Amino acid sequence: MKKGYFWESAMVKNKRFKLEPLFREGIEKGLLTEDDLVYYQCFSIPDAPGCMTFNCPHISNMKRNMDAMARSEAVTQGRKMIQRLVRFLQQCMPGFEHAFLIREAAALGVRESCRIEGKYILKEEDYLNRARFDDAVAKGDWYIDVHSSTKGLVHMDKYEKGEYYEIPYRCLINNHVKNMLTIGRCISTTFLVQASIRIQPTVIDMGDTAGKACARALKEKIELADFSGKGLMER
pLDDT for 145-183, tens place per residue?
876 655 555 666 788 999 999 999 999 999 999 999 999
**Rounded-to-10 torsion of CA 178, 180, 184, 188:** -10
pLDDT digits (tens, 9 = 90+) for 52-96: 999 899 888 877 878 889 889 999 999 999 999 999 999 999 989
CA-closest candidate to residue 185, choices 196, 170, 169, 176: 196
Cα 59 from Cα 39, distance rounded (Å): 9
DSSP assignment of 41-69 equals EEEE-TT-TT-EEE-----TT---TT-HH
Q: Flag whether the pTM goes above 0.85.
A: no
Cα 165 from Cα 132, distance rounded (Å): 6
Helical packing angle, 68-92 and 20-28, nearest 10°:
100
Q: Are 50 and 42 in contact (CB under 8 A)?
A: no
pLDDT digits (tens, 9 = 90+) for 17-44: 999 999 999 999 999 999 999 889 999 9
